[in-house]
């Protein structure tokens, strides 16, 4: 087991859907904040969310004055015949001196590498680089410095990847919404609604959601498909497609995943020992109070591990989806 | 009429018994009109050892029958065993390899390969990079519209292929839902995915058919049917169509697509024939019309 002294202090990478959330995250102890532009170039293309160019410039200034970094997610896949807004997003991230761009599309990464050689590149989780050969490809061909790992690997597998890809850095999700499928390799949303994370930056889009009252309770639908049913006294959750209840083999169940959130606070020592460079918190669609609470909890957790102290006992139940939590694919039994 | 349009039989995505799979390929070699046949496990590396001993004779039979053989890679590569499989595959000689994970494309080190439908290929920039890496053919993702695939076909010298028949692969996961539906773990899965040779039907709580589960892969419940679209797509530069194998009579399905591409079958008659060949199937073609994938858009709508 590695001694505390030999551990590398991981960065805490925190979400910001608005300038206020960015300031909250920085104030709460984020080492990095990641943001997106207000269009379909990023995978949280939700109404009322994200940054225009002026807000990004101000956000970068706020973060840099306090020693924090700003990463810009441009992690959808440019449309055939129309890469203009994606190229512009990369150019603006470079011009405004973002600390890195987080990209998923091979063509866009090649463009960024060629046109903006000084812009640091991170590989988005949406590229789902799940093995050392894939990671080395992005690093050697395009100079990618850090890879956000897809949520398919166990902690042991992550440690093995890190041992083989140095000096390329890895970043893993530690908290928040949980993709059940390999990220960026899922078309379930467009199958039901016509809009997908890869093409439109949305999964299970709000415009396709409907709640219907019945005698038994509330039915949630997405694109006309029933995703779940709730009794009158149950809270009706958002119909994210892969967190719904379906019938297979004559049995109704949460076939893919329960409505649950990733929470790896208890695994921080293992993830740090696995050589992960950065811990990512999901939730650019979340409010500033949520962001601040999660960032503070993980700040305390990372600082405790690095000081060789026991993990603080922090209860994040009240802010997780349906109050349920999982350590997801990091433990093999999840599969 | 576009006589040069080719038909590809995609890899069998399901867990069929090795002898069944061998006999299926023998029949495709002997009786089908497809130009190209894909062989190899795409979905789950736990299945790979069972069919491996049969691959040489299958490849030989297909090749002797004049079919081009392509060996398809796994879609999700994580474990040491899967990495080793991918590296072995990339060294295959005398046969084309299909990369369904970017690591396989990289491992080809410039040798010719097919860029598979489970890579994320949405634009000209990505096509150009893959071509520079050695890709000679590209099977485009299912969720692209006709306008998108036509634009991509026009932008590349690679042969452009579009998925035209069968349950569509929509997602891949580390978790096995065939095992989970039976309260089993993936490690102790007992290979229950073999119980559903066309995938396990998934319905909504209102018993509306929606999806299908093939182990770690989630597929469409609906069977994609581009019979009414292939001629138009061929005219817009699509040079190949992929038929995903199911337990239907794939020799007859391929013959039907060939007849439609050759202008030798009326559309109403062809659709009736396909429905007869696929008992119980519900058809969809929404993606190619720029709509949700599960919809079926009638010609002229």
Asked whether the predicted pLDDT for residue A121 surpasses 70, the reply is yes
- pLDDT at position B251: 98
Looking at the partner chain, which of A198, A227, A245 has a beta carbon nearest the beta carbon of B120? A198
Q: What is the pLDDT of residue A22?
A: 96
Q: What is the pLDDT of residues B132-190, one digit of tens each?
A: 999 999 999 999 999 999 999 999 999 999 999 999 999 999 999 999 999 999 999 99
Q: Give the whole-angstrom CA distance, residue B174 versus residue A154.
A: 10
pLDDT (mean) for A11-18: 96
Q: Does A111 touch chain B (CB under 8 A)?
A: yes
Per-residue pLDDT at A6 exceeds 80? no
Per-residue pLDDT at A3: 57
Across the interface, whether the CB atoms of A193 and B171 are under 8 A apart is answered no
User: Tokens 């060789």, residue?
Assistant: A308
Give the mean pLDDT of A227-232.
Answer: 96
CB of B195 less than 8 A from some CB of A: no
E-only strand ranges, chain A: 11-15, 32-35, 69-74, 100-103, 121-123, 146-148, 169-176, 209-213, 217-222, 225-231, 246-248, 251-253, 261-263, 278-281, 325-326
CATH number of B6-166+224-270: 3.20.20.190
| B6-9 and B240-243 beta bridge pairing | parallel
Check CB contact under 8 Å for A191 and B293.
yes
- Residues 221 to 260 of B: which have CB under 8 A from any A CB? none
> In three state form, how does the secondary structure of chain B look?
CCCCCEEEECCCCCCCCHHHHHHHHHHHHHHCCCCEEEECCCCCCCCHHHHHHHHHHHHHHHHHCCCEEEEECCCCCCCHHHHHHHHHHHCCCCCEEEECCHHHHHHCCCCCEEECCCCCCCCHHHHHHHHHHCEEEEECCCCCCHHHHHHHHHCCCCEEEEEEEEEEEEEECCCCHHHHHCCCCCCCCCCHHHHCCCCEEEECCCCCEEEEEECCEEEEEEEEECCCCHHHHHHCCCCEEEECCCCCCHHHHHHHHHHHHCCCCCHHHHHHHHHHHCCCCCEECCHHHCCCCCCCCCCCC
Average pLDDT along chain A = 93
pLDDT of residue A323: 67
B90 touches chain A (CB under 8 A): no
In degrees rounded to 5, what are phi and psi of residue A96? -85, 5
- Count of positions (residues) in chain A: 335
DSSP A125: G
Residue A231 contacts B where some CB pair is shorter than 8 Å: no
B211 in reach of chain A (CB within 8 A): yes
Q: Quick one: pLDDT at residue A21?
A: 94
Residue B29 has pLDDT above 80, yes or no: yes
Query: In terms of Cα–Cα distance, which of A116, A11, A17, A98 is closest to A60?
Result: A98
The answer, yes or no, to whether residue A322 has pLDDT greater than 70, is: no
With an 8 Å Cβ cutoff, is B264 touching chain A? Answer: no
**What are the beta bridge partners of residue B99?**
B115
The pLDDT tens digits of the residues spanning A157-212 come to 999 999 999 999 999 999 998 899 999 999 999 999 999 999 999 999 999 999 99
- Position with higher pLDDT, A8 vs A276: A276
Whether A187 sits inside 8 A of B142 (CB atoms) is yes
- Condensed to tens digits (0 to 9), the pLDDT of residues A270-292 reads 999 999 999 999 998 888 888 88
What ranges do the domains of chain A cover? 4-178+260-334, 188-253
Angle at B18 between CA B94 and CA B59, to 5 degrees: 15
Interface test with B, best of A80, A85, A180 (most B CBs within 10 A): A80
- With a cut of 90, say whether residue A127 has pLDDT above it: yes
Q: 3-class SS at A194?
A: coil
B125: pLDDT strictly greater than 50: yes
What value does the mean pLDDT of chain B take? 96
Q: Report the pLDDT value the prediction gives residue A1, as an integer from 0 to 100.
A: 44
ipTM: 0.96
3-state secondary structure of A103: strand
**Nearest residue in chain B measured CA to CA from A87:** B125
- Whether pLDDT at A2 is above 50: no
If one counts every other C-beta atom within 10 angstroms of the C-beta of residue A262, the result is: 23
- Rounding to the nearest 10 degrees, give the CA dihedral for residues A108, A114, A117, A123: 30
Neighbouring C-beta atoms of residue A84, cutoff 10 Å:
10
pLDDT digits (tens, 9 = 90+) for A39-73: 999 888 888 899 999 999 999 999 999 999 999 99
Task: Convert the pLDDT of each residue in B176-223 to its tens digit.
Answer: 999 999 999 999 999 999 999 999 999 999 999 999 999 999 999 999
- From the list B122, B181, B207, which residue is nearest A79 (CB)? B122
Q: What is the pLDDT of residue A5?
A: 60
Mean per-residue pLDDT, A216-220? 96
A83 contacts B123? CB cut-off 8 A: yes
Q: Which of B190, B169, B164, B163 is nearest to B178 (CA)?
A: B190
pLDDT score of A318 more than 80: no
Q: Who's near B281: CB < 8 A, 6+ residues apart?
A: B222, B223, B248, B275
* Higher per-residue confidence, B236 vs B1: B236
**Cross-chain residue pair B120–A184, CB shorter than 8 Å:** yes
In whole angstroms, give the CA distance from residue A204 to residue A193: 7
- Residue B50 in contact with partner chain A when CB distance is under 8 A: no
Q: Which CATH class is domain A4-178+260-334?
A: alpha beta
Nearest to A169 by CA among A134, A123, A230: A123
């Amino acid at each position: 087991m590695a001694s505390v002294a030999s551990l590398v202090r991981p960065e805490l990478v925190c979400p910001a859907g608005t300038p206020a959330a960015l300031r909250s995250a920085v104030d709460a102890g984020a080492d990095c904040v990641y943001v997106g532009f207000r269009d379909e170039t990023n995978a949280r293309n939700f109404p009322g969310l994200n940054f225009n160019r002026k807000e990004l410039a101000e956000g970068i200034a706020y973060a840099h004055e306090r020693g924090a970094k700003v990463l810009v997610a441009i992690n959808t896949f440019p449309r055939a015949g129309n890469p203009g807004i994606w190229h512009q997003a990369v150019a603006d991230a470079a011009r405004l001196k973002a600390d890195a761009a987080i990209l998923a599309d091979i063509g866009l990464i090649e463009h960024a590498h060629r046109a903006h050689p000084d812009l640091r590149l991170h590989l988005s989780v949406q590229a789902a680089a799940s093995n050392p050969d894939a990671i080395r490809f992005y690093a050697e061909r395009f100079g990618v410095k850090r890879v956000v790992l897809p949520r398919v690997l166990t902690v042991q597998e992550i440690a093995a990847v890190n041992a083989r890809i140095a000096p390329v850095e890895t970043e893993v999700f530690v908290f928040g919404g949980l993709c059940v499928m390999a990220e960026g390799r899922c078309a379930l949303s467009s199958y039901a609604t016509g809009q997908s994370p890869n093409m439109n930056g949305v999964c299970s889009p709000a415009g396709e959601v409907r709640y219907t009252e019945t005698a038994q309770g509330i039915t949630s639908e997405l694109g006309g498909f029933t995703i779940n049913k709730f009794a009158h006294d149950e809270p009706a959750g958002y119909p994210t497609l892969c967190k719904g209840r379906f019938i297979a083999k004559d049995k109704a169940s949460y076939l893919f995943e329960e409505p649950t959130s990733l929470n790896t606070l208890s695994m921080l020592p293992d993830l740090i020992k696995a050589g992960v460079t950065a811990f990512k918190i999901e939730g650019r669609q979340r409010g500033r109070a949520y962001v601040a609470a999660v960032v503070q909890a993980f700040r305390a957790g990372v600082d405790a591990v690095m000081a060789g102290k026991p993990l603080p006992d922090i209860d994040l139940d009240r802010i997780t989806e349906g109050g349920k939590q999982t350590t997801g694919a990091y433990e093999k039994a999840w599969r | 009429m576009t006589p040069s349009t080719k038909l590809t039989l995609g890899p069998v995505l399901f867990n069929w018994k090795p002898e069944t799979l061998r006999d299926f390929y023998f029949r495709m070699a002997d009786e089908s009109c497809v130009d190209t046949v894909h062989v190899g496990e795409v979905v789950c590396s736990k299945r790979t050892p069972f069919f491996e001993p049969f691959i040489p004779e299958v490849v030989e039979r297909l090749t002797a029958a004049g079919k081009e053989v392509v060996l398809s890679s796994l879609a999700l590569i994580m474990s040491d065993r899967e990495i080793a499989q991918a590296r072995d595959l990339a060294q295959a000689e005398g046969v084309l390899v299909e990369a369904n994970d970017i690591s396989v494309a990289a491992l080809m080190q410039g040798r010719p390969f097919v860029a598979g439908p489970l890579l994320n290929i949405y634009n000209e920039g990505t096509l150009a990079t893959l071509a520079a890496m050695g890709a000679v053919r590209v099977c485009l993702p299912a969720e692209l519209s006709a306008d998108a695939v036509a634009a991509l076909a026009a932008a590349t010298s690679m042969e452009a292929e579009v998925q035209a028949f069968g349950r569509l692969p929509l997602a891949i996961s580390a978790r096995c839902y065939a095992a989970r539906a039976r309260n089993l773990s993936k490690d102790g899965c007992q290979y229950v995915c073999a119980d559903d040779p066309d995938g396990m039907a998934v319905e909504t709580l209102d018993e509306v058919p929606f999806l299908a589960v093939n182990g770690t892969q989630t597929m469409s419940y609906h069977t994609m049917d581009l019979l009414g679209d292939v001629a138009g797509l061929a005219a817009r530069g699509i040079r190949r169509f992929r038929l995903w194998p199911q337990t239907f009579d794939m020799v007859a399905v391929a013959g039907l697509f060939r007849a439609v591409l050759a202008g030798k079958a009326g559309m109403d008659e062809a659709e009736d024939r396909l429905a007869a060949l696929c008992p119980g199937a519900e058809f969809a073609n929404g993606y190619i019309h720029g709509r949700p994938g599960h919809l079926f858009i009638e010609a002229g709508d």
